[in-house]
């Protein structure tokens, strides 16, 4: 029998996130499972694990406790895999446990330093990379142009939440309706969007979901585009999915930060599921995610404005062509559902860490 101890510090109650999909997939394909976490998981996740352990200490204390759980599981005689995320505590736990260890790297560990460039993370994030690189196996969820870590390196692509987003397949006519799902901050492309809207002489509206910087609203008012930019704030995920399904265009125009160049953002997969044409920065990770369903642009105001203008023109002059593009986005999503992506993740983890694929 195979047992997996999975240490994931926090699992959001959003079914389309990588952390939720991976946590749900492990017990679906493994006979015996234990979840180690640092906050109560969603009930739907708790219910599918044989055991759930919620730690409440600091980084080192939690790492030692989690390693102990893995070692105790291995002592039963089962083939045991210790699967952890790439975060500080789980990575440290992997080095302490005396069992095969695989790391779930669903984002670049350097994000700690890139998100906080003036903090201690400038040093510790690089140490974290070295720690993760010691793992028996690493399953990466981004383009191979990013850091390649571990003794046995695997790459996967995530699925699309087709069951959560209902498409409408209506071409734009009077105006182009756009959606921006998650992380609406100036340093994450909102400044580019606002400047692009200011440069447009066509009716383009954007529904923005997520906690926006105060500076976003200030800049939108200063540039005279506040009426076309609806800031919904933190919203129930079902409402976000509804907004995605109703939109003509989904925006994911990130600046050229090195980790974003190879990342595979969740919002693109949600846009595809909604039959919502994704406009993406022309980076390897985003092309890997959307492939030919995406529309790619340089992350500059002029380029984004030109892309929005062109899509509106297509919608007005060739609505059937625009709807075909939306339908193609949905087909791309249906070809890669969440459950199949989750199964592939578990297969890679077991093969990498234990050399077995028991299903």
pLDDT tens across the length of the chain (359 residues): 899 999 999 999 999 999 999 999 999 999 999 999 999 999 999 999 999 999 999 999 999 999 999 999 999 877 999 999 999 999 999 999 999 999 999 988 888 877 888 888 888 888 899 999 999 999 999 999 888 999 899 999 999 999 999 999 999 999 999 999 998 999 999 999 999 999 999 999 999 999 998 999 999 999 999 999 999 999 999 999 999 999 999 999 999 988 899 999 999 999 999 999 999 999 999 999 999 999 999 999 999 999 999 999 999 999 999 999 999 999 999 999 999 999 999 999 999 999 987 76
- 154: tokens are 């695997």
CATH of residue 210's domain is: 3.40.50.2000
Q: How many other CB atoms are found less than 10 A from the CB of residue 91?
A: 27
Do 183 and 310 lie in one domain? The reply is yes
User: Do 290 and 343 belong to one domain?
Assistant: no
* 138 and 205 housed in the same domain: no
Residue 349 covered by a domain: yes
Task: Flag whether 326 is in a domain.
Answer: yes
Same domain flag for 261 and 118: no
Same domain flag for 349 and 322: no
Verify that 94 and 198 share a domain, yes or no.
no
In this structure, the answer to whether residues 185 and 106 fall within a common structural domain is: no
Residue 168 lies in a domain: no
Q: How many residues does the chain have?
A: 359
Q: Is 153 strand, coil or helix? A: strand
- Tally of domains within the chain: 2
Question: Treating both helix axes as pointing N-terminal to C-terminal, what angle do 319-334 and 301-317 enclose, rounded to 10 degrees?
Answer: 110
Centroid of chain to Cα 266: 4
9 and 137 co-located in one domain:
yes
Residue 313 backbone phi and psi in degrees, to 5: -65, -40
Domain that holds residue 346: 2-159+337-354
User: Does the residue 165 lie in any domain?
Assistant: no
Domain identity same for 111 and 258: no
pTM of structure: 0.94
């Amino acid at each position: 029998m195979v047992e997996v101890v999975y240490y994931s510090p926090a699992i959001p109650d959003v079914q389309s996130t990588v952390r939720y999909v991976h946590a749900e997939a492990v017990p679906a394909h493994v006979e015996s499972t234990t979840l180690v976490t640092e906050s109560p998981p969603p009930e739907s996740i708790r219910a599918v694990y044989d055991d759930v352990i919620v730690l409440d200490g600091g980084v080192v204390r939690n790492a030692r406790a989690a390693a102990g759980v893995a070692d105790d599981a291995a002592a039963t005689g089962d083939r045991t895999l210790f699967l952890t995320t790439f975060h500080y505590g789980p990575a440290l736990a992997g080095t302490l446990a005396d069992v095969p260890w695989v790391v779930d790297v669903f984002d670049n560990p350097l994000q700690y330093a890139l998100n906080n460039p003036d903090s201690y993370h400038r040093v510790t994030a690089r140490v974290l990379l070295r720690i993760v690189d010691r793992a028996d196996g690493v399953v990466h969820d981004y383009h191979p142009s990013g850091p390649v870590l571990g003794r046995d390196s695997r790459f996967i692509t995530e699925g699309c939440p087709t069951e959560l987003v209902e498409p409408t397949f209506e071409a734009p006519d009077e105006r182009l309706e756009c959606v921006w799902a998650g992380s609406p901050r100036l340093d994450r492309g909102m400044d580019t969007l606002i400047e692009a809207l200011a440069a447009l002489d066509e009716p383009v509206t954007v529904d923005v979901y997520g906690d926006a910087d105060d500076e976003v609203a200030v800049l939108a008012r200063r540039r005279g585009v506040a009426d076309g930019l609806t800031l919904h704030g933190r919203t129930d995920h079902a409402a976000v999915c509804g907004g995605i399904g109703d939109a003509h265009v989904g925006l994911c125009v990130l600046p050229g930060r090195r980790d974003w160049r190879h990342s595979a953002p969740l919002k693109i997969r949600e846009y595809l599921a909604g039959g919502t044409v994704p406009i993406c920065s022309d980076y390897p990770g985003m092309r890997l995610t959307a492939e030919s369903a995406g529309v790619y642009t340089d992350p500059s105001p002029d380029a984004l404005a030109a892309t929005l203008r062109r899509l509106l023109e297509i919608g007005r002059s060739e609505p059937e062509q625009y709807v075909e593009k939306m339908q193609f986005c949905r087909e791309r999503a249906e070809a890669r559902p969440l459950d199949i992506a989750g199964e592939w993740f578990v297969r890679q983890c077991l093969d990498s860490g234990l050399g077995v694929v028991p299903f």
